[in-house]
Structure 1
């Protein structure tokens, strides 16, 4: 604290403001002081002061004049008010010899004059000008740092203030949209030294500063601003491909993310190209392929693969999907000939698909009006089939399907109906 006293003549330095008043309930009104030069004046030599950052305490020797009932305090801010003093307080007890002027500005010089006052509202001449200065603000926090590359958050740390009068800190963050500092948090306790600003966007920069406050809510100067940036999302995979020629499955392959701390990949699948994706599988960061087993031929799905880092941040959702298709059934053959030749049924066909490796023949023999007996002949390699096991007058129906190398089977052809005519008996 600073103690400063200087006296000089009133005429040389200070003029009482015409807006003064001797009455406690008329502080700041426009009444002229009513001076009684016979009232005892407080001794200049008896005035002492003690300064804090935002207040100045005064002591003086009381007067003996029986007419005095209290004291008036006049003040001017030397940096703002110049030589014009105003009545700031009126003490209604002549035996009171202690007064604290509060809510002052730090490190600022003030000029004071004191007068004695009587019951009739008159007051004595004032003391000579007394100059006192408030103490400067406490030094700011000596060290502050903001830590970057944390997921959706920034950690701010500082060194606890050494001054034991510090009660709490106020952390501020700069708002670029309004171009101003805004209070982010009040942190109670001098020994506290960190704050985590979470819920932030990815890869975004912020500026911070901190002020320490005394138990009287007096702030230190703010620290220099520090900056930090939240962690960016990991880079996504590249070269994602999905197969369209695998039976009962779709094979996915991709190139690894270039982000070093990626620990896994999440595979998502949808029936639609742009939305409806759900998690299908997680694989570790060394796995760059996945086979989606699908018990369906010609199934169409869309896929996305996301990189996930050690902080569980996923690469951007704004990535295109890839289309995968399971291998469809081979096309069915085309029957080119179905007829009875002699005592046998002859079937000729052409392949409907280059994938066809063999063929299945299905023969239905009519038993009665409602019933057929079905037989099958598998793995026929040729494009012709001759059936010698037929009986005159019986209806037979034939259909054919193709088999590919993966065991996929085409749809059956439409049935071809044949009847071996009955032989006429000559009488």
Structure 2
């Protein structure tokens, strides 16, 4: 009875030959009752014992593929043998065989009837799945192949040309997952899995499955930037309605054509940028960040913000000494944001620290605290409601003479 058809190595009683002249001996027994069993890369044979084994020295096996001729592939040097296997074959391929007996004197019997055999295949891997929620990677997983001869799995991914190529190998029949990493966000890929036996025979490809990396968050909307704060710019935006968005990143640049740099990250829907400069423009882009640290797409346009510029500078119209006191007058600033004025008095040299006279609501200042013979220099600034001063006016120099 034929019970084994896929051994791992050649039987050591077999010898292989090339083509050579053979002498037909019609008196030798003919092999009868041939049975076969096919495997993926091998075929097993069984035949009836010959009626007079004393006339023969063994058996010779011939093999033929389509559009070829029979050639001798092996000799069995045992007249009592009734089994043989032929391996190293190609899966899913048609082969034709004949067996003849070898006489004591070297002659060959008539060939047996031609036996047609087709090698089989390893069933494809089943229940293949691919993930759709992982950031920058896709998990491919499947059911363990039921064939215990499986040694490994080959994972293939379809390229832009529509062809599948190997991207990874998973060793061990029971290890049934593979992670395809470093992929772009929101991208889809098609995969299939092939099982390979210890002998190197490959299964049919599995069904093709599609996996997708996680989509990045939706972009931030309604971003606004202030232009009326002193040395600060207030940003605000509409909160994301996506549950996995955990924060927002703010990118800024001083010019539209400059590289935007990350300046802050916040869980709020507003951010105060302390610019510490007057009348400065800055450009902003805000992106949402999810729990996987994926950012929404960087906006193509930026929001412009600006710090409040200094108020207008007063123009001094009068600077005189009258009745032993300095009189300074200036034109009023016609700007609603100006709430008052301040006068700076410098004593003596230019490096002295000035005295500041503030909370002036009129356009006239009287200095009655002067020392005779001392020079004084005066400057006037306007002051807005937040205390931001204008640039100083031109100086007026006065001296009290007694």
- In structure 2, stretches of 5+ residues that fail to align are 4-14
**What does 1:311-322 correspond to in 2, within 5 Å?**
311-322=292-303
**8 Å CA contact 2:37, 2:44 repeated in 1:** yes
1:73 to 61, 84, 108: 61
Match of 2:32 in 1: 45
Q: Does 2:351 align with 1:361?
A: no
Match of 2:147 in 1: 163
Distance in 2 separating the partners of 1:74 and 1:237: 75
Match of 1:305 in 2: 286
2:225 to 242, 260, 265: 242
Match of 2:162 in 1: 179
Distance in 1 separating the partners of 2:98 and 2:357: 124
Q: Does 2:30 align with 1:26?
A: no
Match of 1:408 in 2: 388
Distance in 2 separating the partners of 1:183 and 1:94: 46
- Relative to structure 1, the CA distance from residue 371 to residue 302 in structure 2 (aligned partners, 3 Å threshold; closer, same or farther) is closer
Q: Does 2:128 align with 1:140?
A: no
Distance in 2 separating the partners of 1:190 and 1:333: 87
**8 Å CA contact 2:315, 2:394 repeated in 1:** no
Distance in 2 separating the partners of 1:92 and 1:152: 59
Farther off after superposition, 233-242 or 136-145 = 136-145
* TM-score (normalised: structure 2): 0.83
Match of 1:257 in 2: 240
- Cα deviation, residue 153, structure 1: 1.4
Distance in 2 separating the partners of 1:417 and 1:175: 82
Distance in 1 separating the partners of 2:199 and 2:350: 104
1:151 to 135, 148, 158: 135
SS in 1 for 2:121: coil
- Relative to structure 1, the CA distance from residue 53 to residue 403 in structure 2 (aligned partners, 3 Å threshold; closer, same or farther) is same
Distance in 2 separating the partners of 1:2 and 1:346: 127
**What does 1:374-385 correspond to in 2, within 5 Å?**
374-385=354-365
- Cα deviation, residue 349, structure 1: 0.5
2:188 to 187, 202, 205: 205
Q: Does 2:44 align with 1:54?
A: no
- Cα deviation, residue 159, structure 1: 1.4
- Cα deviation, residue 251, structure 1: 0.1
- Cα deviation, residue 234, structure 1: 0.9
Farther off after superposition, 43-52 or 403-412 = 43-52
- Cα deviation, residue 333, structure 1: 0.9
Farther off after superposition, 236-245 or 135-144 = 135-144
Distance in 1 separating the partners of 2:2 and 2:269: 72
**8 Å CA contact 1:171, 1:210 repeated in 2:** yes
Q: CA RMSD in A?
A: 3.2
**8 Å CA contact 2:281, 2:305 repeated in 1:** yes
1:325 to 306, 321, 343: 306
Match of 2:375 in 1: 395
SS in 2 for 1:155: strand
**8 Å CA contact 2:346, 2:378 repeated in 1:** yes
- Cα deviation, residue 416, structure 1: 0.9
2:260 to 277, 287, 303: 277
SS in 2 for 1:319: coil
Can you list the C-alpha shifts for 1:394-420, whole angstroms capped at 9, x where unaligned?
A: 533222122211111222222112345
Q: Does 2:99 align with 1:114?
A: yes
- Cα deviation, residue 73, structure 1: 2.2
**8 Å CA contact 2:17, 2:72 repeated in 1:** no
Count of matched residue positions in the alignment of Structure 1 and Structure 2: 386
- Cα deviation, residue 200, structure 1: 1.1
- Cα deviation, residue 150, structure 1: 1.8
**8 Å CA contact 2:18, 2:72 repeated in 1:** no
- Relative to structure 1, the CA distance from residue 363 to residue 205 in structure 2 (aligned partners, 3 Å threshold; closer, same or farther) is closer
Can you list the C-alpha shifts for 1:127-179, whole angstroms capped at 9, x where unaligned?
A: 22241534632332231111213211111121112222322222221112x22
Match of 1:14 in 2: none
Match of 2:12 in 1: none
Q: Does 2:288 align with 1:338?
A: no
**8 Å CA contact 2:31, 2:100 repeated in 1:** no
**8 Å CA contact 2:94, 2:119 repeated in 1:** no
Match of 1:124 in 2: 108
- In structure 1, stretches of 5+ residues that fail to align are 4-22, 423-427
**8 Å CA contact 2:94, 2:117 repeated in 1:** yes
**8 Å CA contact 1:41, 1:115 repeated in 2:** no
SS in 2 for 1:44: coil
